[in-house]
Structure 1
Amino acid sequence: MALKITLSMLCGYLLGSFSPSYFLGKLLRGIDIREVGERNAGIINAYKILGPIPAFFTTIFDLSKGLISAFIAHKIGIGYPINFLISYTAVLGHVFPFYLKLKGGQGEATAMGIFLFFFFRTLFMKSDFIIAFLLLLFYVLGLIYIIGLSRILGLYILPIAFLLVAIHSSTLEWVTILIFTAHTFAVSLRNRIKSGYKLSERTRVTIKWSRFAARPFALLFIIIYYQTSRSFILKLAGAVALTFLAFDLIRLSKAGINQAIMKTLSFAFKTKEEKTFSSMTHFTVASFLSFLLFPRETSCCSILFPVFGDMFAKLMGLEYGRKKLFEKTLEGFLGYISFGIIAGYVYSKLANFPFLLAIIGAFSGAISEVLPWKLDDNLSGALFSGLAMYYFGKILNWL
């Protein structure tokens, strides 16, 4: 077996190292394509320097390298999906060709070719994936409206597409897909940064990135709840909520303490929270109340919406908001719905929760977030979505 794996890896690397754009550049223009334009042997540089036809052949071959490598590994005797895992050597060969002093392309197309194989394989072989496919289509169309046909679009689409495929795949399959997805995402992100893309100053200044990054850690509540009991999660969530509540009460009780905390922890606290409870307190209290008021499946789903829906509503609204909707923006509202529904779908698959109720929850959370009232959306998002899902679930006899 070791010999078969070694031989498969060697074939993958050699196949990947063949660079059509390099040889076409030499043949058609007498140039080393790695020394002009974007200074690499990738598809985009081939299009800019050599034209559409050479770029087309480069695209077809680069997309196929990994698939051909996996096919060869299969013929040698490596089973599925290990043969695709081994085909990552084709990506490495593309990036580090031995005869070009290890300076090749970026491997984005080769990695994407493998990802697309798994995506369409899942689509055609698993009947329930059609819902995920339609959901992804809805998500993409929503993003196109919000962002436009920008090269940044792929950075929002690829992780979601991976997530939808992964929950329909075996462990070894999704680990394999993750490797190729991560490579494609990393290359795309690096290219966007090199091209000068960055978030607007308003977005960079307004969003508290430490809190933005910490939001997904709220998923630990869900994981712990499913591994323990209602009694335990109520004690845990209650203790966390009381800690944040006590901290805010102490902070707000003394002006000197408040000012010192706001200055020291300016990376975590918003200016508008100087004289009121923080959104972190509102969210932890809302989580506790959701666990207290609703069944496990409903309460766990309800806290997903302020975590992911509100998280991306802020990003989309600040960065791409154009049309006002009360005190928010239409783009932020659509961002909440899009990411909320995605989160709800993943949860519905993993927890056997009715997807239609998750959709109702996402819309309820988005509406509560956009309404012009004084109630903090971190508090209203979980409670209103939980309430809507609970009562619709009772009416439809789904809970």
Structure 2
Amino acid sequence: MTQKQNIIGIAREDLEKEFIDAGIPKFRTKQIWHWLYFQGVRSFEDMPNIPKDLRQKLGDSYTIHRPEVSKALISVDGTQKWLLKFVDGEEAECVHIPEVDRGTICLSSQVGCTLTCKFCHTGTQKLVRNLTAAEIVGQMMVARDAFNEWPTPSSNRHVSNIVMMGMGEPLYNFDNVAKALKIIMDPEGISLSKRKITLSTSGVVPMMDRCGEEIGVNLAVSLHAVRDDLRNTLVPLNKKYPLKDLIDACRRYPGVNNANRITFEYVMLKGINDTNVDAKELVRLIRGIPAKINLIPFNPWPSSDYECSTPERIAAFSDIVFKAGYSSPVRTPRGRDILAACGQLKSESVRQSKSLLSSLNAGI
């Protein structure tokens, strides 16, 4: 028996071609797309303007499938984390972060991670596989389901922004990430503006130009160090694409300007990368690039080797960067109590005992 294909995650132009090849009129693609991504239906039977025989034909060939929520956790600060199970049994996590003026969903691009950044919990989990476009779009749809946010609202969305900052390196799964984000940005479906989407990379230099040209979303770069010797340790990818190459790629990123700045992410590690000298070198390194710097207090996780810089040290670092003309907000940690904060995602995290989580929180 032929296995049915998940219709979620198929690019619009590919779906249209499949339908035409199957003798389905071209205009039906627009109607079905509307039901899938604007109305968020879960069954072809919920598409009343589609003829019954066509609904049957669609049901014989396709499914409408979201990832299964294996575990849902809610932080004391309102952050939500979902452990999602895919059809092959593999799992990944995504997070929703509520804020006063927006709600941001943090999406994963891989099961595990290609990289081994030393301060990141996800980096301790070896790469299992890339996520498909359907699995990436599915994370967004699960979040929309959770907030009953169908049909697509035009304003006041609970899920108004996306950051590709979850498990995995998005630029090592570029084709699937690009396909998924184009589906999410389609104006006749979920309809999220590219200006509401930020893709974070640890510095896969050869793919950065392509990201700007083909997707056009905001870029965030996980910098974390301003010297090659230290960054080689913290972000081992630096050995392949050193700082000079990375910064050059940032300077030429398509569409970057004062209205669409690159975000440099910088985790604050006590006694490692948080000196005044580091702050001044950071300013020198990025001079001339329209940018802002997100200073991220290190978020603890089981058996991590690092400590967070003191609030006083972070403030002093931020002040140097700010006085040089760069916005340097200190990111407020969110969801630490459920291991949902930056650098804490790992699919096994839901198996951590309550006592371990309590001990982590006691040390914050």
Q: TM-score, normalised by structure 1?
A: 0.31
Which one has a bigger Cα radius of gyration? 1
Q: Which has the higher helix share?
A: 1
Q: Which has the higher strand share?
A: 2
Q: Select the structure with the greater relative contact order (CA < 8 A; seq sep ≥ 6).
A: 2
Q: TM-score, normalised by structure 2?
A: 0.33
